[in-house]
Amino acid sequence: MEAFIVDQALATAKYVPFHWAASYAKRKDSPEAQRNRAKAGGFVKGICHSSENYDQVKGAGFGWTRGDIPFPFDEHGDIRDKYLEFKAKMRRCRDNGIRVMAITPYPKEFIAAGIDPRLPEDEARVREVAVFLANDLRDIAGIFQVTNEMGVPRFTKPLKMPEAARFIAMQLEAMHPHRGDCLLGYNSAGPQADLHVKLRPWHKYCDYVGIDVYIGCFAPVANWMYMHEAMLRYLWSLTGKPVLLCEFGYISGGAPKSPEEKRAVLERYGVSSEQQARENLETFIAKVEEVSPKIHSYMVKNASGDYADFLFQLDFCNHFYSELPATTVIKKYPHTPEGQAGFYREILPSLAKLPFTLGAFVYCWKDSDKCYVCGQDDCPTETRWGLVDMQENEKPSYYAVRDALAGIK
């Protein structure tokens, strides 16, 4: 993950300022975006991972939900129950007035099914799965997204970036003639300029290019509100395609840990400092495996070098210590329920005014009981994104989103 963050920082420094500035020189409207907005029924007002409390979801102003398609086939080629359950759930959403954005499976799911996107001899099978999904879901889904956030290690592995771009490209090409009235595209986590440049020859198969933006929630730098517009303008200038904000959001809880609180975390693993952990690394890592198996498993799967560097530097240290550092915040919007509400109140109207933007999907509907990355229930990074809490009580952000979306026609 640390290498990915460095790559993102370099891409931002190299590509975003120029293309952000260049976007102002482009024509102010985007006929393709307007056509595709009309096809989608207007500016896409979306939520990730909604519940089936349709009245509550629609009460917040959402007309779209976004979710992951399970891999459709088992080892015998039969359709899996998990896929049929997903399809039935998405049909219920559609029938209750909420349209669906469906994300095709990750590389690791293909590989688990015996289809390796890295092998030329398996390319035809990747295309067959993509065509099946397009044909089987096009009357239920309104938007297809080909896989998710290639470049983020936990989603991309074991593919390398050229292979990940090819994985997207072959599916775009295969699905395009079978998509019906659905919009088709892919996304990136942040700038990912290398991904978008590699995919330029396949942009002719895209109705949009997507991006996920989380300002003030992961990185300790560049946490200004205008970075949302800068990222969208950058992508529009770079690709020339309508832009869809596939994920964005703001965490409603989390704060820096004091030195004493951090030491208490380290003491769970038998050390009192990071230096002591490094000096007794083998014993320390064994204790991590004993006390926090989820942290250990994630570290083993995703660390590209020294385990201590992975735990204590950049992104994962926020998980390890269950904190949000002092600089990982948009200053005027603290990580509180009220700060989260203020964020949405400001951002949503500004997004709808950008003529090249198709819409946006808020991440996400509901708080989580545990962080899906590190498994800790007190880790704010992946537990406090919701517009409703674990009991589905509406948080201040629910009402802020409702009021903001009501003003977008």
Dist CA 256 CA 349 (whole Å): 30
Question: What confidence tier does 18 reach under pLDDT thresholds 50, 70, 90?
Answer: low
Residues of the chain with CATH 3.20.20.80: 2-254+329-406
Residue 98 near residue 65, CB atoms below 8 Å: yes
Q: Which residue has the higher pLDDT, 342 or 12?
A: 342
Q: What is the pLDDT of residues 315-337, one digit of tens each?
A: 799 999 999 999 999 999 999 99
Task: Average the pLDDT over 269-273 and give the result.
Answer: 97
Q: What is the pLDDT of residue 181?
A: 96
Decide if pLDDT at 399 tops 60: yes
Q: What's the whole-number average pLDDT of the chain?
A: 94
Least confident of 99-113, 299-313, 341-355: 299-313
Q: Which fold has domain 2-254+329-406?
A: TIM Barrel (3.20.20)
Alpha helices in 274-381 (DSSP H): 274-279, 281-291, 293-302, 307-312, 314-321, 337-352
Q: What angle do CA 29, 33, 39 make, to 5 degrees?
A: 140
Provide φ and ψ at 312, rounded to 5°: -105, -5
Q: What is the pLDDT of residue 305?
A: 83
Q: What is the pLDDT of residue 9?
A: 65
Decide if pLDDT at 42 tops 90: yes
Residue 143 near residue 183, CB atoms below 8 Å: yes
Decide if pLDDT at 288 tops 70: yes
How big, in percent rounded to 5, are the helix, strand and coil portions of the chain? 50, 10, 40
Q: What is the pLDDT of residue 313?
A: 85
Q: What is the pLDDT of residue 315?
A: 79
Task: Average the pLDDT over 153-167 and give the result.
Answer: 94
Q: What is the pLDDT of residue 76?
A: 87
Q: What is the pLDDT of residue 267?
A: 97
Task: Average the pLDDT over 119-148 and give the result.
Answer: 98
Q: What is the pLDDT of residue 26?
A: 66
Task: Average the pLDDT over 357-375 and give the result.
Answer: 97
- Reference 149, options 235, 211, 104, 194; nearest CA is 211
Give the DSSP per-residue string, 129-158. Answer: HHHHHHHHHTTTEEEEE-SS-TTSHHHHTT
